[in-house]
Amino acid sequence: MPGIRILPRTTNFPEINIFSGRRLLRWYAAHKRDLPWRRTKDPYRVWVSEIMLQQTTVGAVVPYYKAWLRAYPDIRALARAPLRAVLKSWEGLGYYQRARNMRRAARIILNAHGGRFPEDPAILAGLPGFGPYTTAAVASLSFGKPVPVIDANVRRVMTRLLGLHGPSGTIHDAEIGRILRESISRRSPGNFNQAMMEWGALVCRTKNPLCLRCPGQGECRAFARGEQEVIPVPKSFRAKKITTVVAVIRKGNRVLIQQRPDEGLLAGLWEFPGGKVERGESLPAALKRELREELGVEIETARLLITVRHSYTRYRVTLHAFDVTTTVRPGESPCSLRSLPCLWVSLKSLDKYPFPSGSLKIVRKLQERG
């Protein structure tokens, strides 16, 4: 594989030697982690791992990946699985739209492509949830197509290697993509892409990059200038804080849960009735208002059961769950005034329903207490 030439308008690096010959591939062969999805080129398995790895660490993904393949060993099994079961399997991974899209894509592959993954990147890119990253990963790792992946790891390696200033994010992606398209190994594009990602994950880390063990140190501009910790400039990020209250309403050993709408945040997941505390509102007042608005019931007693904290997307949520008795009498069934599905479910059967991670902590608390 030839070394690459970088056009003068971009940078005056004459060549990136690490991409010449098999240097990068040899480094990868010697240093790669042994991960379950690296033992296969099967596009279904590659796809599952790549989707799970978005926004989630390798260590967290391994048990999910194994459990998923036991539940849905192939595209047909996923396509035919009920949505609720699929969301339940995804529980804890967050960004549930990924699981919905996987099931939608599996149904299209089954119905329109006879259950076989299309090899053409242009067709892959048309499937639900197949952005440029996923398309490139499946096309290169499973089908040997020379399409480079650009994820956060690759982006970090390349901006440092080339000494490109500016905030983290996608501003240099066009340039990085052009260079990688010229550089990617034609014989082993999948390994080339995995090597780039592994380089960023293991060596060119966000904090404390291991420059002295880096295969590209000799030609790294950021290292030469001592700028490896300031390229790229971290994005300032301020999480939005939210406080919510929910009610655990019981009937015998069953509790009331309701399903979120089909669209929007945490779509289709189940939760306990309640909602956001407004500015200046006390927790009891918010609980009272929410139950009146959502279920049309009044609170008789409310006792704090548990407070949990969790984060999702850009929100940091503090969730207060109350054991509540209401004006609802046995035999009556309060239900959502917003026409959302709601059910009385035994503590044991709560395991059949997918919950967001904050609500799941309440479920576990209830089950512990019995």
Of residues 32 and 364, the one with the C-beta less far from ligand SF4: 32
Distance CA(294)–CA(284), nearest Å, equals 15
Nearest approach in angstroms of CB 141 to ligand SF4 is: 23
Strand 240-251 with 315-326, pairing: parallel
Residue 274's closest CA among 283, 264, 263?
283
Residues listed for the chain: 370
Q: Which is nearer to ligand SF4, 24 or 247 (CB)?
A: 24
Question: Which residue of 52, 141, 214, 287 would you call a contact of ligand SF4, by CB under 6 A?
Answer: 214
Say whether residue 203 binds ligand SF4 (CB under 6 A).
Answer: yes
| Least spacing, CB of residue 165 vs ligand SF4, in Å | 14
Measure the CA–CA gap between 96 and 350, rounded to whole angstroms.
18
Helix (H) or strand (E) run with residue 326 in it? strand 315-326
| Cβ closest to ligand SF4, residue 135 vs residue 217 | 217
Min CB(226)–ligand SF4 separation in Å? 10
Nearer to ligand SF4, 47 or 223 (CB): 223
Do strands 274-276 and 299-312 pair parallel, antiparallel, or not at all (unpaired)? unpaired
How far apart are the C-alpha atoms of 171 and 165, rounded to whole Å?
10
Q: What does 98-136 look like in DSSP terms, one character per residue?
A: HHHHHHHHHHHHHHHSTT-----HHHHTTSTT--HHHHH
Residues of this chain, 139-168, that bind ligand SF4 according to CB under 6 A: 157, 160-161
Q: How far is CA 127 from CA 68, 107, 109, 140, 257, in A?
A: 20, 10, 8, 16, 33
* Contact stretch for ligand SF4 (CB under 6 A) within 61-69, 213-221, 233-241, 271-279: 213-221
| Under rule CB under 6 A, residue 267 binds ligand SF4 | no
Other Cβ atoms less than 10 A from the Cβ of 94: the count is 18
Distance in Å, CB of 219 to ligand SF4, minimum: 9
Which positions are annotated as active-site residues? 50
For the window 69-108, what string marks contact with ligand SF4 as x by the rule CB under 6 A? ----------------------------------------
Footprint of ligand SF4 on residues 217-246 (CB under 6 A)? 217, 220, 222-223, 228
Q: Which is nearer to ligand SF4, 103 or 160 (CB)?
A: 160
For residues 42 and 234, the answer to whether their CB atoms sit within 8 Å is: no
The footprint of ligand SF4 on this chain (CB under 6 A) covers a number of residues equal to 15
Interacting residues with ligand SF4 (CB under 6 A): 157, 160-161, 203-204, 209-211, 214, 216-217, 220, 222-223, 228
